[in-house]
Chain A
Amino acid sequence: MATALKLLLVLVVAFPAQLYLAPLLRIGNIRPDFILIILVFVSSRYGRMAGILLGFAAGLSQDVTGSLSLLGANALPKSIVGYTVGTLNGNLTVWTSRVINLYIFGSILGHAIIYQVIMVQGLAAPMGKVMNNILLEALMSSVMVIGMRYIIPLVASKE
């Protein structure tokens, strides 16, 4: 119950940041995804179950506020990221820092690919631009997460 409340609190704090701060930090058409960054930290701290639940709930909330024609476009990749990054929960002391960073980047890249593919599905979008946006989105979030890792360590759950 306490964990659920904490997750809810995280969501409540993350949302205004995403709504009002992210547009100021955008590069081109891409804005940083603070909710994804927080999801990575929460999933690695509390495990897969919490990751999937938070990923789905936060993604769906993002969809309601943003992806008018595509409800579920954020919920789907964020649920998957919640699951994959939640795997770190038992492996933080086993994997080397480099492997953890690579794993986080892979998960975030997967999120960007799924999200952008859903966004352009059915549109005659230029492949080069889509690839650019995928890489930009993945790099932006990965750099923030990996940079923040050294300030706020990804701590394994003791519960």
Chain B
Amino acid sequence: MRNLFELLFYLKELLLLLLAVLVSLTLLLTSDSDQAVAMQGVYANIVGAVPRPSLDFSDLISYKAENQTLRQRLIRYTLLNAELADVARENQRLRRMLRFTESSPFRLQVAEVISRGASSVLSTVTLNVGAEQEVVPNQPVLTLDGLLGKTLTVAPEATVVHLVTDRNFRLSVKVGSQGLRGILRPLYGSEGEIIGISSNGDIFPGDRVLTSGFSDIYPKNLPVGEVLEVINIPGESYSRVRVRLYADPQNAEHVFVMISRGDGP
């Protein structure tokens, strides 16, 4: 018996390592549990309460570049807006003729990214808005470029976002001139792939990928990405479509949470 204790004492470091490995593996297999999400909520609360240290110099540089890009976009959108105003008037007239109910536009809440997590690879971001700003779980989060993800854990003044690049993210999308439907899943980095698209479909590199609207969370036609490559495997009836995702979680500073889908009555 004494020898056994001596052996255990001798191997204590190895046993502790084994215990740590076992606990880690158990956590890896149960990451989707409610407890894991609750822990994320506690973290979001802490990060939301801690003021972000100001990094004025680097902020100034990035804001200057961002400001220039936004000015260019503003001019482009102003021109587009004038064009769209005409189309909207015509659309309203046609809707009235068809007695369609008016739909209100999306209601968006501007938010700032306050944390990108502590891992060496980005998996999640935390925003500076929460329940106090009417944010609830499962609301779409957008950047100026496209869909970034959805709200997952909401604290009073912070929200953890489930990113479109997260391994467990799935999204119903449409692509190509025929609006073919498929399921988007992330690949690696800022790429994803659409599965479930018939190999007969007309899809070409450069085609825009939009949300299909077959979802309780995402309204239709939100920009998601663009087609990089269509892979047809001989003998298979479905193509694999490689997609470049528009939203860039690494650089997103300001995002929009869609508080209301504005589907109307």
Chain A interface residues toward B at CB < 8 A: 15-16, 18-20, 22-24, 26, 29-33, 35-36, 48-49, 52-53, 55-56, 59-76, 79-80, 82-83, 86, 115-116, 118-120, 122-126, 129-130, 133, 137
Contact = CB atoms under 8 A, between A and B. Distances in A.
Nearest to B26: A72
B28 interface: yes
B38 to A, nearest CB: 10
Contacts of A15: 118
A66 B12 contact: no
A62 B119 contact: yes
A64 B28 contact: no
26 contacts: A15-B118, A19-B117, A20-B52, A29-B121, A29-B122, A31-B121, A33-B120, A56-B23, A61-B118, A63-B119, A64-B39, A64-B42, A65-B47, A65-B115, A66-B116, A66-B123, A66-B124, A69-B166, A69-B167, A71-B39, A72-B24, A72-B31, A76-B28, A79-B17, A115-B121, A129-B188
Given A35-B118, A123-B167, A133-B121, A52 B16 contact: yes
Interface of B: 12-14, 16-17, 20-21, 23-28, 30-32, 36, 39-40, 42-43, 47, 52-53, 55, 58, 115-124, 152, 160, 162-163, 166-168, 186-189, 193, 250
Interface of B is mostly: mixed
A49 B117 contact: no
A18 B118 contact: yes
Contacts of B24: 56, 59-60, 72, 75-76, 79
Contacts of A69: 31-32, 123, 166-168
Going nearest first, the 8 A-B pairs with the smallest beta carbon separation are A66-B117, A66-B119, A72-B27, A76-B24, A79-B20, A125-B188, A72-B28, A72-B24
A48 B13 contact: yes
B16 A68 contact: no
A38 B30 CA distance: 28
B189 A29 contact: yes
A115 B120 contact: yes
Identify which of A30, A31, A49, A66 gathers the most chain B CB atoms within 10 Å of its CB: A66
